[in-house]
Structure 1
Amino acid sequence: MQKPLLLSLLLLTSVALTRAQVQPTYKDKPYLQDFSVKYYADTTQTSLLQIAADRNGIIQMLAKEGLRHTSAGQFLYPGKVVPDRNYRYMKDKHISALTSYENQLVYLTDQVVFSNAWAGTLFSKHNLPKATLFAGGKDFTFLVSDGASLELIKDSKSLWNGKLSDDSAIALAFQANANQFWILGNKSLYKVGVQDKKLSKVLTGADFTAFDITSKESKIVIGTLDGILSFDIPTGKQTGGIDRKLPVTKITVVKEVNGKVWFGSDLGAFALRADGKFDYYFGERWLPGNTVTDIEKGPKNSVLVLTTKGLGQIQFKSMTLEDKAKLFDEQVRLRHIRNGFNSQLTGLNHGDLSSGFTEDSDNDGLWTAMYLGGQIFRYAATKDPYALQNCRESMDAMERLYTVNPVAGFPARSFERSGHINELHDVERWQHAPEKEWDWKSTTSSDEVIGHIFAFGAAAELVDDPKIKKQAVMLIDTVMSHILKNNMYLIDFDGKPTMWGKWHPDYVNSFPINVGDRKLNSSNIVAMLQTAYHFTKKEKYKAKAFELMNKHGYFENMMRSMNIIGRAPEDADDHAKHMSDGWNHSDDEMYFLGYWGLYRYAFNDTLKAQYKKQIIDHWQAERPEREGAWNIFTAITNPKEFDLNESVWYLQEHPMDLIDWVIKNSHRKDIDQLEPNFRKQTTKEVLPPDERPIQRHNGNMFTLDRNGGNGTGEHSAGDIWLLPYWMGRYLNVISAPQK
């Protein structure tokens, strides 16, 4: 007979949940997804200076050694910067500058401004043999400068000559709506009209480096060695002071492209957004090098960011979330499936995807369970037979974790062919399997088991394939019988509990109430027991769950608010102190995976209502991270609010390139950094996923930097992205693509 749950619940009857709220649904319409195609230069033979593109999509670069162009190159498969021999006689020209004028490539030499477009008729002579700067105006009028002098020319005629007073020109630009040129010096800003030919100084400053005319030719943005400033053209005045709240303050380039102002620096490039914040492009996720020498508009809605080490062509492609899911599905199936597991590609040589290998992990079962969960939701939402086959293969891999080792009901962490064991650092975890060809990894942890139960429960409920349903229920029963038989412990090959596979009250309640493991293990084991009872109807699971909740305080542990989680008190033991040295994001992962079975398979509606409070309380604590998966997991409780917009932001802003490149943000002046704290939150607002290191859901989304191992591995999108997306599709909080 079922025991009463808690004294406080004796007064409650099993009541129906309040009428379901109508949840919002994101309509999956196309958005612009950015990604980079990189072209590396041989820096021993090429010193890159400028870049331009023409109406045909030809990209050309000027180096000290001559003209260069791109060779090959596509997303994740970089091309090269090579000498441009297309016009063979160009090598005889002493080209000192390059630009795009009326969507054609135009060149400056020591004698002329010329082009191969317009049948080669543009050939306008000038009188500045050391000229290095030029800009095009209306009707093939050009302003040319050698830094000291200026000359306005048209059709080889000199229309005007001038000099800056006590300054040197470093950049030129043309304002079409006023038919005038602007000249930037190291410490001043000038203008000269094509009609009146009057040179006038309009601004004095210091340490100017670059500029461009922006905002529909109403404003000039000037870069300096320490920030940027704005000059309002209609009023002829500087607006405000120098802005240093930037990702980087040492500016090398300013360029407006398609209405957005871009900046180059010695630490990457960044673009000003409509909300006043910046999109930051740092490192080889985006650029071959971080010292930016030029930025220009590129072909097909791209931006060309030239660096000292090559070109980063940042492309903006219109796609839906489902389009992105298809690309990520291909990534997983081509490079991240190992024996049916969802694995990481490692051992890469500087991002070369052909050089890597899939590596076993302590958490093969967990990462695969999360990928499997995504494929289950995909099948449930679409009935796609391809997704069903993915489920079959991953389910078989998960089942073999239980059969590859000789311990009844015990899941291995992983398995691998014999011989590979000698290459591994953690040899002590590996055991020889009864099958001669195989070895298996022991010491399985609680995060593995909760992942298994999540995926098996979802499969048993949502997949209409009889074999998979039977397989899933059998595996749930197998591992949970092992845990019950062994007094709430996961018992390894040596007859001892594993380090983390412990749900016995002696262990769980040994932690102070504010140490997370007490709450976590209580929540997880109840979720697991509920799942087991729901699908097997074996009373032993239900009885044990109520025993733990009533007799041993697990319900109280579970319902304790996240607000009290913190460091263990001074009189706690060393283990408790070690386990509470900061917020544990792996615990978050275990909680939310467990919430599927906790809420979905609750014993009764009274408990379900209480569980919802627990989940919402946890979600409130997680909201600053804008974590797509945890928001969408929260949506299973049908709350009024679960941050759907932030979930979509996570999915859209997640980079397409999942390679572990070096990432740096801690130097940025545009983010508000916080003092060290228990939650390990480094900034007031979390950065977009495409600006921070690639992380699984058990990572700290406030991590700013990733150092070392540049381009040595590629993460799988299977657990990182496909799980939250397809869960959102199944829950109907994300729609199918909208036509």
Structure 2
Amino acid sequence: MMKRNGVKITGALLALSLFVLPATTVLAEKLPGAGYSPVQLEAVQTKEMTYYKTGSASIPGTLEWVTGTAALKFLPLSVTGDVTSVVLDGGVYWIGTETGLQRVDFGASDTKDIVQYMAGPRYLYGGDDHVTGLASDGKGGIWVRTASGVTHIAMPEKTLHDKSFIYEDLVESILDRRGMVHGAGFTFTETDSTLDAVNYNSKTGVFTSTPTTSDNDGLWTAMYAMGEIFRYKALQEQYGASPASGEQAEIADARAAALRATKAVLLLDYVSGRGNGFPARSYMLTSEASAATVGNSVYGYQSQNGFWFQNFVGPDMTNPNGIIPSMQRNDGVETIGYSMVRVTKDAENKKGSTLFPSGGTDVLNYNGLGLSQAAIDELNLTRPEGQKLGIDIKTRVGTTVTGAVYQVLPVITAATNNNDAKEDKTTGINNKPLFQLTAPVYEQIPEFFNDLFPDSAIVDGHIDMNQIVYKADTSADEVDGHYAMFYTAYKYLVGDSTDPELLELKSLIEETTHRMTELILKDDHYYIEDATGKSTQWSRWFAKYFNDSLGVMEQQVQWQSKIGVDEKGDDALSYGYEDGPLNALQVMAALKSASYIVAASYPADSAKYELAYEQAFAGSYSKEEPYINGKGYMAMAQDYIERRLVRQATNAYSENDNQPVTMDNAGDGTNTNATLHNDWTQYINYSDEELGWFPVFILVTLEQDAGRHAQIVAAYDQWYSNEVREENPFYTFLYQLAHPDKTDVDLQSAVRFLYRFPEFQIEFPVQWDRQDVLYIEPGDRDDYKQTNYALAPDERRIIKHNSNPFENDSQTTGANPGYNYHTGSIEAGSVFTLPYWLGRYFEIIKE
């Protein structure tokens, strides 16, 4: 059951709060030279819906339904033909139409809120948008009737602080999976049998859920953890040295949430047991339904797709394959077990795309899951004749003019051996794959993480690693979030605390940061290495990946038109070309934060990381062999808009029969119009925007050299030139941190975003039959037309920050009187809580 009006105060929680509070207020390290004034927040009207199906006995019988339009005086009759009912209540017009409900308030403090539009099942029962009657509730809200049902839209005044408790409650009740936080499916049950309606704010309503793994558990949880850390620090400062008991409990609640989520992310760097800082993308317990395999065997097919390993630890566990050279240890540490890749679609057929225009058939030129030659050679030392990898056992992944191309994928079955890569679900204990990749396990998970697990997962005082199934092939998304959270937890959660639990956390953050950074810099390869013996599919920061053949392209005449082609006139942009500016910032932030975090525990390596970081500011980046990893990456970070334009123009060129697009020959390709107008905002990767936030946050708050800081800010300014139109506090507050002297940042629009953020991030289908907005063509990465400005968050589909907020994706299919409001999918409120609490801590906003 959800908490209301604050936090639960228990004896244990109160005792904890008293223990952790400092003797004196710890003042935050605010930004020097800040010229902005905090935006004073206020309580604002917040939409709260209750849904009644037609015929419900709970619909009040005293409602005075209005079915006339006489109150509508400010619009001519020629444009009101679809209006069905109008209520004028305290100066606010509620206008029911055949396609939704409008609220018009000419006295709104923000002109963008004068007209608010409500349609689809979020606001009108079952998505029946034909309003048949309206009734005032006498409190600023409205009752809305359609043929399918009745919705009560209450408008109570709430502060953002009040609203934050809803997001916290949902995490605690249904979105927390052993400390990891992201969206989930839910069931809502009303325990009051006298209420025949669905009200998610009901004091007697209960949310239930079974959260499952997501593709980037660590990234989403890192966002939540960072928000909780800033919540903890902001509340400490606000409530001072002698907080009241309720305030003490709130501080303790924030600390507990911050610590739990931080531990959950940190755990991902230990679940593999590899002992080298490898960050798993996610993990499951074997008892989870999504971890089940056919026949409950590691040889059986697992429907949860991805690149998963199952641990096998114990004295009787023997590795059926050798250990590839890069995963062997020479410090005397022996293996305690091994992990075996599970049979999934990805493990069987993810051959990947080629990375380098300069060519090469080596598997290192593919971003799939094929094994490196060094790994194959080492494994073959342990394999008998007739079972040699790449000779006897291999999978066909394509054909060239010289014949078939083969790779050794992590799983090869009798059906895929020497045949095409495909999904084979027939394997099992009696039909084992011919080859299943393994990785060594060198260490147990530290006991520090035991409290995240149920008792059934603890054996002899340790987490039972044989119940762990972890997801490898870690992306840069994960690494991005991990470093930002390590830095935030180290600096703001731990700080100079002497609390034993936080000191242990500090030690583990130092160890993990050191291990992961060493893994990235190993042999100067600048990537996260997996059990395949090569980089994971996306965690790459090496120069050739970004710039292969760039020197050749710059010599071609087409380059003058921002088109990257080779001597033959063919697209020659490397696979990672457009990722360069983002990934440059990522690895710079990793090095800078690592140098800061490990300064005391690994001083020599801290100095090494700082030198590697400084190389990013050393002139230009490599454009041809020999590529120098890390050199000049700051210059590459400042190529963000330029590389978007080049990729966009090159796509348009390819769509236009290998001709530069002009006004005279322009076809109808996706990129044509934007290319003609140099409109790079139509080639935005909104996921990259979100990822770019994390390294910029690290760098603008950690870099003290004025010259370098200015270059970092200049790089972010390019990103913000699109982000500004999103009016999103996630980006706006970071921009203010990057420009503490600016006094003209549009903080009010960012605050409005928070005001209009829905209390419940339920993924209702969205209706887009609107005439009050203008539309533009789809972007390169989208299938739907776009609005020409960002609608308020409560008028569009629920998204994280990694989707296009302008996309017009009409999801409703008409009225559904049987719409089930008791089940659905809901996102975590991290996209609210992180910017909100960060803004509170850095005094950008003030309650």
Asked whether the two chains share a fold, i.e. TM above 0.5, the reply is yes
| Cα pair distance change 1:533/1:626, threshold 3 Å | same
- 1:137-162 C-alpha deviation (Å, 9 max, x unpaired): xxxxxxxxxxxxxxxxxxxxxxxxxx
Q: What is the distance in 1 between the residues matched to 2:594 and 2:653?
A: 34
Q: Find the counterpart in structure 2 of residue 476 from structure 1.
A: 513
Say whether residues 1:229 and 2:76 are aligned partners. yes
Q: What is the distance in 2 between the residues matched to 1:400 and 1:564?
A: 36
Q: Find the counterpart in structure 2 of residue 395 from structure 1.
A: 262
Q: What is the distance in 1 between the residues matched to 2:772 and 2:781?
A: 22
Which SS does the other structure have where 1:256 is aligned? strand
| Cα pair distance change 1:366/1:410, threshold 3 Å | same
Q: Find the counterpart in structure 2 of residue 273 from structure 1.
A: 105
- Cα offset for 1:329? 1.2
| Cα pair distance change 1:648/1:452, threshold 3 Å | same
Q: Find the counterpart in structure 2 of residue 297 from structure 1.
A: 136
- Cα offset for 1:571? 9.0
| Cα pair distance change 1:676/1:427, threshold 3 Å | closer
Number of residue equivalences: 535
The answer to which of 486-495 and 591-600 deviates more is 486-495
Q: Find the counterpart in structure 2 of residue 287 from structure 1.
A: 124
Which SS does the other structure have where 1:433 is aligned? strand
For the 8 Å contact 2:766–2:812, the answer to whether it is kept is no
Say whether residues 1:443 and 2:473 are aligned partners. yes
**Long gaps (5+) in structure 1:** 1-17, 47-67, 71-80, 85-97, 106-134, 136-170, 172-209, 215-219, 222-227, 231-241
| Cα pair distance change 1:554/1:734, threshold 3 Å | same
| Cα pair distance change 1:367/1:462, threshold 3 Å | same
Q: Kindly indicate whether structure 1 or structure 2 has the higher relative contact order, using CA contacts under 8 Å at least 6 residues apart.
A: 2
- 1:635-675 C-alpha deviation (Å, 9 max, x unpaired): 2221413321111011000111211111022x311101113
Q: Which amino acid aligns with 2:487?
A: G
Which SS does the other structure have where 2:737 is aligned? helix
Which SS does the other structure have where 1:499 is aligned? strand
- Cα offset for 1:418? 0.7
- 1:597-654 C-alpha deviation (Å, 9 max, x unpaired): 1112226222012212222332122111111201112222214133211110110001
Q: What TM-score, normalized by structure 1, do the two folds share?
A: 0.67
Q: Find the counterpart in structure 2 of residue 531 from structure 1.
A: 593
Q: What is the distance in 1 between the residues matched to 2:706 and 2:634?
A: 15
1:94-113 residue pairs with structure 2 within 5 A?
A: 100=64
- Cα offset for 1:578? 13
1:693-732 residue pairs with structure 2 within 5 A?
A: 693-705=797-809, 707=811, 713-732=824-843
Q: What is the distance in 2 between the residues matched to 1:261 and 1:578?
A: 41
Q: What is the distance in 2 between the residues matched to 1:99 and 1:474?
A: 64
Q: What is the distance in 2 between the residues matched to 1:444 and 1:527?
A: 18
For the 8 Å contact 1:662–1:705, the answer to whether it is kept is no
Say whether residues 1:433 and 2:311 are aligned partners. yes
- 1:673-693 C-alpha deviation (Å, 9 max, x unpaired): 113345868122211100000
- Cα offset for 1:713? 3.9
Q: Which amino acid aligns with 1:653?
A: R
For the 8 Å contact 1:528–1:598, the answer to whether it is kept is no
Q: Find the counterpart in structure 2 of residue 504 from structure 1.
A: 542
Q: What is the distance in 2 between the residues matched to 1:498 and 1:507?
A: 13
Q: Find the counterpart in structure 2 of residue 253 from structure 1.
A: 85
**Long gaps (5+) in structure 2:** 1-30, 190-197, 201-205, 237-250, 294-301, 313-464, 495-501, 555-561, 563-576, 600-605, 622-630, 655-668, 672-679, 814-818
Q: What TM-score, normalized by structure 2, do the two folds share?
A: 0.59
1:669-684 residue pairs with structure 2 within 5 A?
A: 669-678=771-780, 682-684=786-788
- 1:190-210 C-alpha deviation (Å, 9 max, x unpaired): xxxxxxxxxxxxxxxxxxxx4
| Cα pair distance change 1:258/1:525, threshold 3 Å | same
1:129-528 residue pairs with structure 2 within 5 A?
A: 210-213=68-71, 220=73, 229=76, 242-243=78-79, 250-274=82-106, 275=111, 278-288=115-125, 289-346=128-185, 354=207, 356-383=209-236, 384-407=251-274, 408-419=276-287, 420=289, 421-422=291-292, 425-434=303-312, 435-464=465-494, 465-485=502-522, 487-510=525-548, 516-528=578-590
Q: What is the distance in 1 between the residues matched to 2:741 and 2:471?
A: 40
| Cα pair distance change 1:449/1:506, threshold 3 Å | same
- Cα offset for 1:99? 6.7
Q: Which amino acid aligns with 1:453?
A: Y
Q: What is the distance in 2 between the residues matched to 1:572 and 1:28?
A: 46
| Cα pair distance change 1:529/1:389, threshold 3 Å | same
For the 8 Å contact 2:119–2:129, the answer to whether it is kept is yes
For the 8 Å contact 1:287–1:307, the answer to whether it is kept is yes
Q: Find the counterpart in structure 1 of residue 361 from structure 2.
A: none
- Cα offset for 1:573? 12
- Cα offset for 1:545? 2.0
Which SS does the other structure have where 1:357 is aligned? coil
For the 8 Å contact 1:342–1:716, the answer to whether it is kept is no
- 1:301-331 C-alpha deviation (Å, 9 max, x unpaired): 3210111111110011111111111222112
- Cα offset for 1:399? 2.0
Which SS does the other structure have where 1:358 is aligned? coil
Which SS does the other structure have where 1:498 is aligned? strand
- 1:45-79 C-alpha deviation (Å, 9 max, x unpaired): x5xxxxxxxxxxxxxxxxxxxxx642xxxxxxxxx
- Cα offset for 1:21? 3.8
The answer to which of 699-708 and 263-272 deviates more is 699-708
Q: What is the distance in 2 between the residues matched to 1:263 and 1:611?
A: 49
Match of 1:652 among 746, 755, 779: 755
- Cα offset for 1:337? 0.5
| Cα pair distance change 1:308/1:563, threshold 3 Å | farther
| Cα pair distance change 1:670/1:370, threshold 3 Å | same
Identity, % of aligned positions:
25
Q: Find the counterpart in structure 2 of residue 36 from structure 1.
A: 49
Q: Which amino acid aligns with 1:334?
A: S
Which SS does the other structure have where 2:184 is aligned? strand
The answer to which of 391-400 and 309-318 deviates more is 391-400
Which SS does the other structure have where 1:436 is aligned? helix
More strand by share: 1
| Cα pair distance change 1:356/1:333, threshold 3 Å | closer
Say whether residues 1:543 and 2:379 are aligned partners. no
Q: What is the distance in 1 between the residues matched to 2:810 and 2:491?
A: 40
Q: Find the counterpart in structure 1 of residue 765 from structure 2.
A: 662
The answer to which of 637-646 and 444-453 deviates more is 637-646
- Cα offset for 1:492? 1.4
| Cα pair distance change 1:382/1:468, threshold 3 Å | farther
Q: What is the distance in 2 between the residues matched to 1:708 and 1:466?
A: 51
Q: Find the counterpart in structure 2 of residue 594 from structure 1.
A: 695
| Cα RMSD after superposing both structures | 3.2
Q: What is the distance in 2 between the residues matched to 1:427 and 1:406?
A: 22
Q: What is the distance in 2 between the residues matched to 1:250 and 1:425?
A: 49
| Cα pair distance change 1:508/1:24, threshold 3 Å | same
- 1:454-496 C-alpha deviation (Å, 9 max, x unpaired): 1110111111343333333333222212111152111112222
